[in-house]
């Protein structure tokens, strides 16, 4: 194993070689150099604020009998008895939380617990989840059971209010059940007493819905009618629910949902109109951050490239937060709005060659998320998606022995080896450039702000209309024509169709940003029962050589209305690009006929918002309240080399170091639970510094006693 040992530490400029191959370059010193590769200089007197322990939350899953049929991967996502077991945290026979799971949650420092969690919340009838268990025989894990789990683990509850089921009165009754005194005037408080808890729970945090812009999945995952709110309707409902809930307890806080972040940019029409409607009345905003976004079993990226980019991707989080803040202030007038990141994780959805979501690399990505959340004062709380079993659980198993997946150990390290007050730490270490490759924002060179040039540079041209592949069973399923500058595509098929048969093309420069917009109107095409972001009409922008040759493109947001809707996509060209192609697009018609109308396609060059080259070491530091101990959390993102590091700024009396690592970046604990684990590693005191060698692809907690 090689140890990096640099004499000079430099941020590497963007190079065409890096972007085309994904290889990361660093200026290594000749072997034998005596200078360290990296230094961390601590300043314990420079306090940056108290450590916000609400960052270390988790989502718990509360499914509802008869409510949830499937979600993407039903064979791995839920069990038939989930409504009774709470994804493994509840023992329905003993009528108590599973003691071993309670211990695991406490050991991981789970400070906030979210319920019912995710898209389960859209149609969730909480009133069907309270009262005598014998009267809800298929719902043995409900709201009182969840709140008992919170009390036993010491976690603060965060409850998601169904936005597509019930009324504002139902939401007010929920607050009464949780918080009102049982004084004979509050029937739901009396019901809470009958459920075994006379004392109010004092729940403060609620969120109005979950990823609400994509509707409630009705008719697909849920039985019943599909519903989807416009952003204005959602915003008006939020204000109505907030008023009703605060009339019961004015101490509660209700969050408003921003657009889901299965994308790298901020600024959707949903966000703008929800914020305008809610205005200065909004209590806090809810964001979901999944980065990088990688959803294929096709092996699009090799594991080294995937995690080189993946470990860089959280560096874009401050950019996202800044853009959110700017938009919130613009539309609400509020400059100090708080955020709750109620879902976060690596957005890796695949199973071959191994399920990367459970591997060491994704755990290190999660560690980088936590580092940035801790350093951002506007983030009130964060809840990892999610704690036990199902698709993303950091704990696997319904009985002992439980498997602690790598992400579990990230939280465990913070629980046991981090302090009370954040302190300043200056890091001097090698950096690398990340190409992004459509799964994350590129990060390279010096940081830059986002800017768009105003001129439309798309040459005037007709749509190129293609006819290949439009005949099925001797009958064409597609007809297209351009009428007065408007492309009209008619899809007539009972099968799902992937429409991309009309395009515009223009020359393009390498490594350049192009912002492409269009106005689109849609009739039919399954928009009455959409899956998130898939049905409707949009545009695709990619390399002129095509997807098959380059695997490089982006797709805009999807218009789903009979009114003209603006769609937009931002594409950064490859290092050898010569042109780009813009396709009219429908990803999934769901077997419904309909039409897409496209007009006013425009292209503007942009400079992407760039967080800059990525330091190999991700570092945050803290101290104990009494000032006698210093705690440093360090992620080494280098995939092949250990990094020799010196920690300056304190005089240590004793030092310990505990490292989360494994044999490879894609190492799992699925078969061998000790494959990725925490081990103590050497750290030495040398005069007024500490010397440590940080293993490749690892997370290390260093504890210095003063």
Please, what sign has the CA dihedral across residues 576, 580, 583, 585? Answer: positive
> Element (H or E) spanning 274, and its range?
helix 269-278
Asked if residue 353 has a cis previous peptide bond (ω within 30° of 0), the answer is yes
**Three-state SS at 377:** coil
> Element (H or E) spanning 690, and its range?
strand 689-694
Please, what sign has the CA dihedral across residues 295, 299, 300, 306? Answer: positive
Q: How far apart are CA 675 and CA 196, in angstroms?
A: 43
| Mean pLDDT (10-residue bins), the chain, 706 residues | 36 30 34 64 96 97 65 44 88 96 98 91 92 91 97 98 95 98 97 98 97 73 68 94 98 90 54 91 95 88 95 93 89 93 95 96 98 96 96 95 97 98 97 88 86 94 90 85 93 77 94 92 70 72 91 83 86 90 81 86 89 95 97 97 96 97 98 97 94 97 97
Three-state SS string over 451-491 comes to EECCCCCCCCCCCEECCCCCEECCEECEEEEEECCEEEEEE
Cα dihedral value 528, 532, 538, 542, nearest 10: -160
Are 70 and 221 spatial neighbours (Cβ–Cβ below 8 Å)? yes
* Cβ within 8 Å of residue 592, ≥6 positions away: 524, 525, 526, 528
Q: How far apart are CA 639 and CA 627, in angstroms?
A: 35
- Please report the pLDDT score of residue 66 as a whole number: 59
* Cβ within 8 Å of residue 215, ≥6 positions away: 122, 164, 226, 227, 228, 229, 530
- Please report the pLDDT score of residue 22 as a whole number: 33
Report in angstroms the alpha-carbon separations of 679 from 223, 411, 699.
Answer: 49, 15, 11
To the nearest 10 degrees (0 to 180), the angle between helices 143-153 and 99-107 is 50
Q: What is the pTM of this model?
A: 0.85
**Three-state SS at 409:** helix
Q: How far apart are CA 72 and CA 347, in angstroms?
A: 14
Are 68 and 125 spatial neighbours (Cβ–Cβ below 8 Å)? no
- Please report the pLDDT score of residue 524 as a whole number: 80
Other Cβ atoms within 10 Å of 476 Cβ, number:
12
CB-count exposure of residue 650 (10 Å: 0-12, 13-18, 19+): buried
> Element (H or E) spanning 679, and its range?
strand 677-680
Residue 373 dihedral angles phi and psi, to the nearest 5°: -65, -40
- Please report the pLDDT score of residue 16 as a whole number: 30
Structure tokens at 343: 């879902």
Q: How far apart are CA 595 and CA 470, in angstroms?
A: 15
- Please report the pLDDT score of residue 441 as a whole number: 85
Q: Which domains does the chain have, with CATH numbers?
A: 2-47+428-437+617-705 (2.60.40.1180), 53-285+381-417 (3.20.20.80), 451-607 (2.60.120.260)
User: What is the DSSP pairing of strand 156-161 with strand 112-115?
Assistant: parallel
Are 479 and 490 spatial neighbours (Cβ–Cβ below 8 Å)? yes
**Three-state SS at 218:** strand
- Bridge partner list, 616: none
Q: How far apart are CA 690 and CA 695, in angstroms?
A: 16
Give the side-chain half-sphere CA count within 13 A for 122. Answer: 23
For the chain, how long is the longest CA-to-CA vector? 83
Structure tokens at 646: 């010196």
- Please report the pLDDT score of residue 553 as a whole number: 87
Structure tokens at 669: 């604990």
């Amino acid at each position: 194993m090689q140890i990096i040992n640099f004499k000079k530490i430099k941020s590497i400029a963007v190079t065409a070689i890096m972007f085309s191959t994904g290889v990361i370059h660093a200026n290594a010193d000749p072997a034998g150099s005596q200078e360290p590769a990296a230094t961390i200089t601590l300043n314990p007197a420079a306090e940056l604020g108290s450590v916000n322990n609400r960052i270390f939350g988790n989502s718990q899953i509360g499914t509802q009998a008869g409510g949830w049929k499937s979600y993407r991967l039903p064979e791995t996502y839920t069990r038939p008895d989930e409504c009774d077991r709470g994804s493994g945290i509840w023992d329905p026979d003993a009528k108590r939380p599973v003691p071993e799971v309670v211990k695991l949650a406490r050991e991981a420092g789970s400070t906030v617990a979210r319920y019912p969690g995710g898209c389960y919340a859209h149609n969730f009838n909480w009133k069907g989840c309270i009262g005598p268990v014998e009267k809800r025989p298929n719902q043995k894990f409900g709201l009182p059971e969840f709140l008992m789990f919170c009390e036993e683990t010491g976690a603060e509850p965060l409850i998601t209010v169904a936005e597509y089921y019930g009324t504002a009165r139902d939401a007010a009754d929920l607050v009464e059940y949780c918080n009102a005194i049982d004084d004979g005037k509050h029937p739901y408080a009396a019901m809470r007493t009958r459920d075994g808890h006379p004392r109010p729970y004092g729940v403060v945090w609620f969120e109005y819905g979950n990823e609400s812009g994509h509707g409630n999945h009705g008719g697909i995952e849920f039985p019943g009618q599909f519903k989807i709110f416009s952003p204005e309707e959602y915003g008006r409902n939020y204000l109505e629910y907030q008023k009703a809930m605060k009339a019961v307890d004015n101490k509660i806080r209700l969050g408003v949902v921003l657009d889901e972040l299965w994308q790298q940019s901020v600024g959707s029409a949903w966000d703008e109109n929800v914020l305008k409607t809610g205005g200065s009345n909004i209590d806090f905003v809810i964001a979901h951050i999944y980065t990088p976004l990688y959803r294929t079993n096709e092996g699009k990226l090799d594991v080294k490239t995937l995690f080189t980019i993946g470990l860089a991707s959280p560096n874009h989080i401050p950019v996202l937060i800044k853009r959110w803040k700017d938009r919130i202030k613009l539309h609400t007038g509020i400059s100090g709005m708080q955020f709750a990141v109620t879902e976060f994780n690596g957005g890796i959805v695949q199973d071959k060659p191994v399920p990367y979501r459970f591997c060491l690399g994704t755990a290190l990505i999660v560690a980088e998320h936590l580092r940035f959340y801790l350093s951002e004062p506007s983030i009130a709380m964060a809840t990892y998606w999610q704690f036990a079993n199902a698709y993303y659980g950091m704990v696997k198993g319904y009985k002992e022995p439980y498997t602690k997946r790598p992400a579990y150990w990230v939280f465990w390290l913070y629980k046991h080896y981090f302090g009370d007050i954040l302190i300043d730490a200056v890091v001097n270490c090698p950096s690398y450039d990340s190409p992004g490759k459509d799964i994350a924002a590129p990060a390279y060179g010096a940081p830059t702000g986002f800017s768009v040039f105003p001129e439309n540079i798309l040459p005037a041209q007709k749509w190129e209309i293609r006819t290949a592949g439009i005949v099925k069973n001797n009958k064409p399923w597609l007809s297209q024509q351009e009428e007065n500058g408007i492309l009209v595509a008619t899809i007539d098929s009972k099968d799902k169709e992937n429409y991309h048969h009309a395009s515009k093309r223009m020359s393009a420069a390498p490594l350049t940003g192009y912002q492409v917009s269009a106005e689109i109107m849609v009739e039919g095409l399954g928009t009455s029962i959409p899956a998130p972001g898939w049905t409707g009409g949009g545009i695709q922008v990619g390399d002129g050589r095509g997807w098959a040759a380059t695997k490089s493109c982006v797709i805009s947001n999807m218009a789903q209305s009979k009114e003209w809707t603006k769609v937009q996509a931002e594409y950064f060209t490859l290092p050898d690009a010569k042109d780009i192609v813009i396709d009219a697009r429908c990803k999934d018609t769901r077997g419904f006929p309909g039409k897409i109308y496209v007009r006013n396609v425009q292209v503007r060059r942009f400079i992407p918002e760039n967080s800059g080259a990525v330091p190999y070491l991700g570092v945050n530091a803290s101290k104990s309240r009494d000032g006698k101990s210093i705690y440093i959390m360090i992620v080494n993102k280098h995939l092949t080399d250990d990094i020799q590091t010196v920690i300056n700024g304190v005089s240590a009396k004793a030092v310990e170091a505990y490292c989360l690592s494994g044999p490879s970046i894609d190492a799992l604990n699925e078969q061998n639970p000790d494959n990725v684990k925490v081990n103590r590693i050497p750290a030495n005191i040398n005069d007024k510094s500490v010397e440590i060698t940080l293993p490749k692809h690892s997370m290390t907690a260093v504890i210095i006693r003063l």
